[in-house]
Structure 1
Amino acid sequence: MTISVDASPSGGGNPNPACTMLRVDGTRIVNASGETVLLKGTAIGGALNMENFISGFSGHEHEHRAQMASVLGADKAAFFFDRLIHHWFTDADAAYFASLGLNCIRIPFNYRHFIDDMNPGVIKPEGFALLDRCVEICARHNLFVVLDLHAVPGGQNQDWHSDSGISRAMFWDFKDHQDRAIQLWEALAAHYKGNPVVAGYNPLNEPADPHKTASGADGARLVAWYEKAEKAIRAVDPDHMLFVDGNTYAMDFRAFPERPLPNTVYAIHDYSFFGFPIGEQYEGTQEQKDKLRAQLLRKIEFMREKGVPVWNGEFGPVYQDERKEGAEGVEVNKKRFAMLEEQLKLYREYGISWSIWLYKDIGYQGMVYVDPESAYMRLIRPFVEKKQRLGLDFWGVVNKDGVKHLYEPFAAGLKEMIPEAYRNTRYPRIWTFERQLERVVRECLLSEYVGWEMAELFRGKGEEELEELAGSFAFEKCKMREELNEILRKDAARK
C-alpha cells in the first residue's frame, strides 16, 4: 500500500500524517505500518551551512564569518548570524511547505557548529540546539527530517560548500579528520535515537574521494569510511536509516561493494546542464528527454542491481530574474520548469524519493526568495552585481563573458606549459583544466579578497539594523516562486 497525500490545503492546513519511524524494505522506504513512503522535500541550505550564491557573500562560509567579525566585532557578528539562522526557517516556513503536500526537509549543517578545530575532541552543545530547533519545527508540521552533514573537517569535496577554503578534499588524506566526523555522528545518533521525525542520517554530502580501489575506481577511502561510520552509528542507534551518497558528487557507485549496507537508502544528485545558463537549453525534444533518462539510469544502476531504495538528494534548475530579463527571462524559465517536470515524471516512474535544491535564497533557485526590495537586498545588491561581473560564484553567475578576456588568455598560456598527456590528471577528472583553474583562482583566491567588500557594507550597524537585515529572510517578508511551487504541489498529489 502507498500513502496518498491530499496536497490541497484546507485553510492552510497540513495534509501530512504524523511521522513514524521509517525503515528500508527491499526497494521501498516504509513506515511503522509497512506502507510505502515516498519522501518528497527540499533542503534548507544556506542556514546551518551557508553558501555564497544562496545568501550573497563570496568564497567560503568560515571566511565570510571571519570578515564580518573583523568589521562588526565578534558579538555583533554572532548576533547577526544567529538571527539570520532563526529567520531562515520558522513555523511559518514549515506550515507553508507542508501545505504543498511535501513531507521532508533535508537539513544541511556544517561541522563547525559542533567541532572547534582547536579543541576537536569536544562536541559543542550549541550545534544540537540549532538542529533541535529545526527538528522540533518539522515535528509540529508532520515533516520528516534528513540530517545532512554538508561540511566536514578538511572538506569531503573540492567545492565551496564543503567550506574548506581550498580546492582540495583534505578529508581523505587525514585519518583524524575522518575519525572526527564519525565521533560527531556517534553523538548525533545518541541524541536522535528513537526520534520518529528523523527519517535518517546523510553521513556525507557529495563526497569526492580520488583514491583508487584495486579495480581502478575512485572512492576506496570513501567506501572504507562508510563501512566504519555505519558500524559506529548502528552501535548507538540501530534503527534510523542511512542516506549514502555516491562518490564524485553523488554520481558514481563503481567503488561500492557488492553487498549494500543494511537499512540504507542510496543517494544520487541529479542536476542537468539543461537547467543552467551554460550550453544547450531544454526545448523538450525527444532526444533531450532520452538524455535525461539515460543520465538518471546511469546514476541509479547500482541501486537497481542491488534492489535498494533510491533518494535523489539534490536536483533542480536555476532561474532568470524576470524583473531584469523581461520576456526573455520568462521564456527561459518556462523551459527550466518544463525540464523539471520531465525529471519529476521520471522519478515517479522509478519510485524515487527526492529533495529539491533549494527552499530559500536570494533569488537563483529557491522555492521562496528574499524580496528584491528588502533591506538586505538593497544593501548587498551592488556587491552581488560585482560578483556577477567578476564571475566569482560557479552556481550564481549567469554570464561570465565579462571576464573571459582576462581568463581565457591566462588559461591558454598556462595550459601550454603542461604536456597534453597530463592536462586531465587532476581529480575530479570530469573537470577540464580550465574548470580546475577557475575553482582555484576565482572561487577561492579572488573570492576571499573580494569578500571584504561585502563585510564592509555592514560596518557601523547596530543590533536593530542587523535584525532588520536578518529579518529580510523571514517567510512573511519573502516572495514565493509560484510556478515552481505549483509544480511541486501537483507532484506531491500524485501517488
Structure 2
Amino acid sequence: MVTKMKVVNGRLIENGKEIVLRGVNLGGWLIQESWMCPVSGEDRKWANLDTLNILEERFGKEQAQKLIESYQDNWITEWDIQNIADKGLNAIRVPFWYRNFMTGEEGNWIEENFSENPGFKRLDWVIEIAEKYGIYVILDMHGCPGGQSMDHCCGTLCRNDLYTSEEHLKSMEKLWIAIAGRYKDNKTVAVYDIMNEPQNNGGYEGEHSYDPFQEESWQMSNAVYDRMIKAIRKIDKEHIITAEGIWRVSNLPDPEEMGWDNMMYQTHLYDDDENFHNWTLAMAKTREKYGVAGYVGEFQNLNGISMCNEQGLSWTTWSYKGTKDVKTFFWYVEELPKADVKNDSYEEILLKWGEVLRTEHFTEQEVVTKAVNLYSDGRFEEYKEKINIPEK
C-alpha cells in the first residue's frame, strides 16, 4: 500500500489526521562519526572512509565487511526500536551513506541482488522492525559519493567533490532511484531525506570549502536537490521528500517554482534557546509561505523540543546513543574502548564491536529520556520540576 501521509497546507496528513513526527536519529549506526563512536580517529580529522579503507587494506574486503556487520548488528537491535516506541515517539531518522551499498564512488553495487546487498538488508530490517512497533522511518542520505561537505560527518573528509563531479552525481542518483524503487509502496517509510547538511564547511579550508552562507553555495545544493527530486519522482510520486537548508531554511527555493511537490523543509539547530526559538519561528513562516511541512532534523537543546511543538514542527533529536561525549544529547552513553583500526588485531576489533555495543549495556541518561518522553505528548512543562532538569 502506498503511504497515505501527504503534505497538505504545510501539515503532514494521514487518513484525514494530522501527524507530527517526533523521534530520534540512529546516529553512528550505518555511518560512523569518530567523535561519538568506538573507533580511533580524532574528531574533524578522521572519517568513516578512513576506517573502511584501513580495514580493507589490513584484512581484505570480506573480513572488513564482517567487522562492520558485527558493529551494525550490535549498535542497533530490535530492543532499541521497541524502546523508542515505548517512550512515546513515532519516528526514527536513519542516517546511511553510499558505501553501505556501493564499492566506491563510481557507483558499483556491493551486491546487485538488493535482497543480499548489505545496505538494503539493513534498511529492510529497520523498516520491518519499525513497522512492528508503529514507528515511521526517515531515510537520510548522510554521506553522498564524493562528499557533500568538507566535514567528516558525510563519511569523507575535506573533499566536498559531489557538486563538481558528474560521476559522483550519477552514483548518488543511481542510489536514490534504487531506494525509491524498493520502498515506493512502503507506508512505514515516511520521508526521503535527500542529502544531510550540504556545504557544512565551517572551519575547513581548501578548494571546495564554499561558504554555506553565500548564494553560490546554496545554489549548488539546490541544484543537487532538484536533480535527485526529479529522479525520485519518476519512480515514486507519493513519498514526502525533505530538503535541508544549512544553516538557514531561507536557503531553500520556492518549491512551486522548482516543480517540487509533497515537500518538507528541514534545518538543523545547534543553538541556544533564543536562536532556536527564532529559527523555529522562521521555519513556521516558511511553512505558511510555501505550503511545505517543517522539520528540525537534528538538535541537542532539550528545550528545543517544546519550541518545535509550539510551532507544530516535526523533530528528531541527535542522537540515540554515543560512546565518548557524555555531555551531549545522547539518550544512552557509555565510554568504551576504541577500536584502533591501524593496530588492533582482527579479534580485538571484533570484540570491541561485539555485544558490548548493545544499548542494554549503556548508561541511560534519565534526565534526557524522561524529558523526551514527556515532550513527545506535550506535557513537559507540567513535569519539568519533577524530573529535575538542570538549568543551563
TM-score band, normalised by shorter chain: 0.7 to 0.9
Q: Determine which of 290, 305, 313 is the counterpart of 1:352.
A: 313
Question: Where do residues 64-75 of structure 1 align in structure 2 (5 Å cutoff)?
Answer: 64-72=51-59, 74-75=61-62
CA contact (8 A) 2:95 2:141 kept: yes
2:250 equivalent in structure 1 = 253
SS of equivalent to 1:267: strand
1:485 equivalent in structure 2 = 369
1:476 equivalent in structure 2 = 360
Q: Does 1:194 align with 2:185?
A: yes
2:129 equivalent in structure 1 = 137
Question: Where do residues 266-345 of structure 1 align in structure 2 (5 Å cutoff)?
Answer: 266-272=265-271, 274=272, 289-298=273-282, 301-317=285-301, 340-341=302-303, 343-345=304-306
Deviation at 1:350, TM superposition (A): 0.7
Deviation at 1:369, TM superposition (A): 3.3
Provide the C-alpha distance between the structure 1 equivalents of 2:361 and 2:167, rounded to a whole number of angstroms: 43
Paired amino acid for 2:341: A
Q: Does 1:206 align with 2:197?
A: yes
SS of equivalent to 2:18: coil
Question: Where do residues 398-413 of structure 1 align in structure 2 (5 Å cutoff)?
Answer: none
Paired amino acid for 1:22: M
SS of equivalent to 2:89: coil
Provide the C-alpha distance between the structure 2 equivalents of 1:468 and 1:222, rounded to a whole number of angstroms: 38
SS of equivalent to 1:239: coil
1:90 equivalent in structure 2 = 77
Paired amino acid for 1:251: R
Q: 1:243–1:485: structure 2 CA closer, same or farther, 3 Å change rule?
A: same
1:434-473 CA distance string (max 9 Å, x none)? xxxxxxxxxxxxxxxxxxxx224522626xx724642111
Farther-moved stretch of structure 1 (194-203 vs 107-116): 107-116
Provide the C-alpha distance between the structure 2 equivalents of 1:37 and 1:164, rounded to a whole number of angstroms: 35
Provide the C-alpha distance between the structure 1 equivalents of 2:170 and 2:321, rounded to a whole number of angstroms: 32
**Aligned residue pair count:** 354
2:7 equivalent in structure 1 = 24
CA contact (8 A) 2:268 2:297 kept: yes
Deviation at 1:305, TM superposition (A): 2.1
CA contact (8 A) 1:26 1:308 kept: yes
1:205-228 CA distance string (max 9 Å, x none)? 11129889xx95532232222222
- Structure 1 unaligned residues grouped into runs of 5+: 1-18, 275-288, 318-339, 384-453
2:219 equivalent in structure 1 = 220
Q: 1:258–1:217: structure 2 CA closer, same or farther, 3 Å change rule?
A: farther
Q: Does 1:182 align with 2:166?
A: no
Q: Determine which of 347, 350, 358 is the counterpart of 1:461.
A: 347
Deviation at 1:300, TM superposition (A): 5.2
1:150-197 CA distance string (max 9 Å, x none)? 1111111110011223x2411111122122211111110000011011
Farther-moved stretch of structure 1 (49-58 vs 484-493): 49-58
Deviation at 1:84, TM superposition (A): 0.9
SS of equivalent to 1:101: coil
2:36 equivalent in structure 1 = 54
Q: 1:264–1:64: structure 2 CA closer, same or farther, 3 Å change rule?
A: same
Q: Does 1:156 align with 2:148?
A: yes
Q: 1:168–1:74: structure 2 CA closer, same or farther, 3 Å change rule?
A: closer
SS of equivalent to 1:52: coil
Deviation at 1:349, TM superposition (A): 1.3
CA contact (8 A) 1:151 1:162 kept: yes
Provide the C-alpha distance between the structure 1 equivalents of 2:295 and 2:22, rounded to a whole number of angstroms: 9
Provide the C-alpha distance between the structure 2 equivalents of 1:117 and 1:78, rounded to a whole number of angstroms: 14
- The structure whose residues are more often helix, as a share, is 1
Deviation at 1:72, TM superposition (A): 5.0
1:147 equivalent in structure 2 = 139
Deviation at 1:136, TM superposition (A): 1.2
Farther-moved stretch of structure 1 (40-49 vs 465-474): 465-474
CA contact (8 A) 1:60 1:164 kept: yes
CA contact (8 A) 1:40 1:104 kept: yes
Provide the C-alpha distance between the structure 2 equivalents of 1:307 and 1:21, rounded to a whole number of angstroms: 18
Deviation at 1:198, TM superposition (A): 0.2
Provide the C-alpha distance between the structure 1 equivalents of 2:333 and 2:24, rounded to a whole number of angstroms: 17
CA contact (8 A) 1:30 1:36 kept: yes
Bigger Rg, which one: 1
Provide the C-alpha distance between the structure 1 equivalents of 2:110 and 2:247, rounded to a whole number of angstroms: 27
CA contact (8 A) 1:370 1:477 kept: no
TM-score (norm 1): 0.66
Provide the C-alpha distance between the structure 1 equivalents of 2:144 and 2:58, rounded to a whole number of angstroms: 27
Provide the C-alpha distance between the structure 2 equivalents of 1:360 and 1:51, rounded to a whole number of angstroms: 12
Paired amino acid for 1:143: I
SS of equivalent to 1:219: helix
Provide the C-alpha distance between the structure 1 equivalents of 2:94 and 2:17, rounded to a whole number of angstroms: 25
TM-score (norm 2): 0.82
